[in-house]
Amino acid sequence: MVMPAIKLYEHEPTRSARCRWTLKEAGLEYESIGNAPDIIGSDELTAVHPLGKVPAALIDGRPLFESAAICTAIADLVPERRLVGRPGSWSRALHDQWTHFALNEMECWLWSTELHSFDFSIPGEQRLPGIAEPNALLFRRSAAVLDAALSESDYLVDDRFTVTDIIVSYTVNWGKEDKLLGGFVHLEAYLERLFEREHCTLQRFE
Ligand SMILES: N[C@@H](CCC(=O)N[C@@H](CS)C(=O)NCC(=O)O)C(=O)O
């Protein structure tokens, strides 16, 4: 099978780290575009992602955005690497469950706190700094669910490393950066397990 040409619009310390890690685990060549803060909001990027956000990708010239969608599409390109279950399988349903859970029940609270503190999207006078506390509460309520799941298995799907772990662990590590993992020993151990992987792109936070 001829592999598609892949261009990844990225900036290293952002969610684009998910896509870079997935490409490495997939063993696929790609062209990195940007890898500097000024790629965000640029005309070049906005032609691929209407909000001018990273990550975004061109796969054989076709634009794709949202980090989880890009990672899953890359994993689907290399079925022999078993990074994700085939569409329609129960493994795939569990991949969808955990990635949606991480993004919609965990990451959204971290993102909201960031936007209301030091990020650039919300004008200063409209920011609600007090939102950090309820956001932390809601993040930890969901993190407890993930911690319980990881007390029974080292990984989230099929008891082996998959792209699901790449997507979800970025969220968990962001919670670690925000010092919200206190008491979640299985989440801490999960991160340590992933740091051991050769291609891991997670940043270390104390
Ligand atoms: N849900 C999106 C989030 C993309 C996103 O917000 N990216 C940030 C960097 S991590 C960005 O480009 N922010 C610029 C902005 O919000 O304008 C994804 O997972 O790809």
Q: What digits encode the pLDDT tens for the residues 142-176?
A: 999 999 999 999 999 999 999 999 999 999 999 99
What local confidence, expressed as pLDDT, does residue 27 receive? 97
What local confidence, expressed as pLDDT, does residue 1 receive? 74
The residues near 190 (Cβ < 8 Å, ≥ 6 apart) are 150, 154, 165, 169, 172
* Domains of the chain (ranges, CATH numbers): 6-81 (3.40.30.10), 90-195 (1.20.1050.10)
Distance 2 CA to ligand 1 centre (A): 31
What local confidence, expressed as pLDDT, does residue 84 receive? 98
**Predicted structure pTM score:** 0.97
Sheet with 31-34, strands from edge to edge, namely 31-34, 6-10, 56-59, 62-65
* For ligand 1, mutation pick of 54, 71, 168 (most atoms within 8 Å of CB): 54
Distance 53 CA to ligand 1 centre (A): 5
Distance 167 CA to ligand 1 centre (A): 14
**22 within 8 A of 59, measured Cβ to Cβ:** no
* Ligand 1 and 55: CB distance under 6 A: yes
Cα–Cα distance, 28 to 74 (Å, whole number): 9
What local confidence, expressed as pLDDT, does residue 120 receive? 74
What local confidence, expressed as pLDDT, does residue 92 receive? 98
Q: In terms of Cα–Cα distance, which of 61, 36, 29, 66 is closest to 51? A: 66
Distance 139 CA to ligand 1 centre (A): 19
What local confidence, expressed as pLDDT, does residue 35 receive? 82
Instruction: Supply 90's token pair.
Output: 């129960």
What local confidence, expressed as pLDDT, does residue 2 receive? 84
What local confidence, expressed as pLDDT, does residue 146 receive? 98
What local confidence, expressed as pLDDT, does residue 46 receive? 98
Q: With a cut of 50, list the residues of the chain below it in pLDDT.
A: none
What local confidence, expressed as pLDDT, does residue 36 receive? 83
Quick one: which atom of ligand 1 is closest to the CA of 15? 10
- The sign one gets for the Cα dihedral 82, 85, 90, 92 is positive
* Ligand 1 and 54: CB distance under 6 A: yes
